[in-house]
Structure 1
Amino acid sequence: MTLPVFDTAAIKHATTPKLVFTAVHDALIAHAHGRTTVPPPLHLQFPDADGDCHVKASGVADTPDFTVKIATGFYRNPTAGLPTNHGLVCIVSAQTGQIRAILDDQGMLTAWRTAAGTLATHAMARSDTATLAVFGTGE
């Protein structure tokens, strides 16, 4: 069986901001209801390279899959013409433990997930608001 690997182009083609907003919204609701498993992240530091790596995992009860995310930040990379952040997400079967897909998102999904700070803004904004600015909520 060939493992599907989706690159950023494929992820962008299949994903919309509304889909991300809805997925994060639903995950936060599941978490608030105690239906998630979210262990503490693993954190590696690479001081000689001015970098770090976070490995995070999560699952929602009664869903077929869970995820493991690897996200890196190497802050000198721009001087070498490389992006600062990179990452990938593994989708793993919660029934068999088999990896079902790899999303080689190069950090894009992390940036979009971080942008879900708009959820709080959406929940707190007045219904008659015409203009709103939000700072520091991802890309």
Structure 2
Amino acid sequence: MAASLPVLDYDAVLAAVSPSEATQRVRNGLLRFHAGEWTMPPKVYLESPPFGDFRAMPARGAGLALLKWVTSFPGNPARGLPTVTGVICLSDASTGEPLMLLDARS
């Protein structure tokens, strides 16, 4: 594993690409998924009653594997926290080596 795993916080993720570029990349990703270039099994829900739930969303393609781990906790705004928080772990699909962590909150 790399000496230091890069971590992109919320602001770094927002600064990395413009909204229009992000929209185009999502579109291209959906086209690649439809063409069979990416594998994306159904998301897994892990409930945390009565508070909310966790969601695991794995995918693999283009030499990468990733796991998007997000939460949905509707009561969080009353605590001064966002309803949705999460992280994306990006890995090399041929070695399994973690490459980066990205903030995935809404």
Q: Greater share of strand residues, 1 or 2? A: 2
Kindly indicate whether structure 1 or structure 2 has the higher relative contact order, using CA contacts under 8 Å at least 6 residues apart.
2
Query: Partner residue of 1:115?
Result: none
Pairs aligned (count) = 104
Alignment of 1:1-139 (within 5 A): 1-49=3-51, 51-60=52-61, 63-105=62-104, 107-108=105-106
Deviation at 1:34, TM superposition (A): 1.6
Q: What code does the residue aligned with 2:75 have? A: R
SS in 2 for 1:72: strand
Structure 1, gaps ≥5 residues long: 109-139
Task: Percent identity, please.
Answer: 32
Question: Secondary structure at 1:48's aligned position in 2?
Answer: coil
Q: Tell me, in whole angstroms, the C-alpha distance in 1 between the residues paired with 2:24 and 2:65.
A: 17
Q: CA separation in 2, counterparts of 1:79 and 1:21?
A: 31
Higher Rg of the two aligned structures: 1
Compute the displacement of 1:103 (Å): 0.2
Shift of 1:64: 2.5
TM-score, scaled relative to structure 2: 0.90
Q: Runs of at least 4 residues of structure 1 off by over 6 A?
A: none
RMSD: 1.2
Mapped to 1, the partners of 2:31 and 2:57 lie a distance apart of: 19
TM-score, length-normalised on structure 1? Answer: 0.70
| Structure 2 residue ranges without an equivalent (≥5) | none
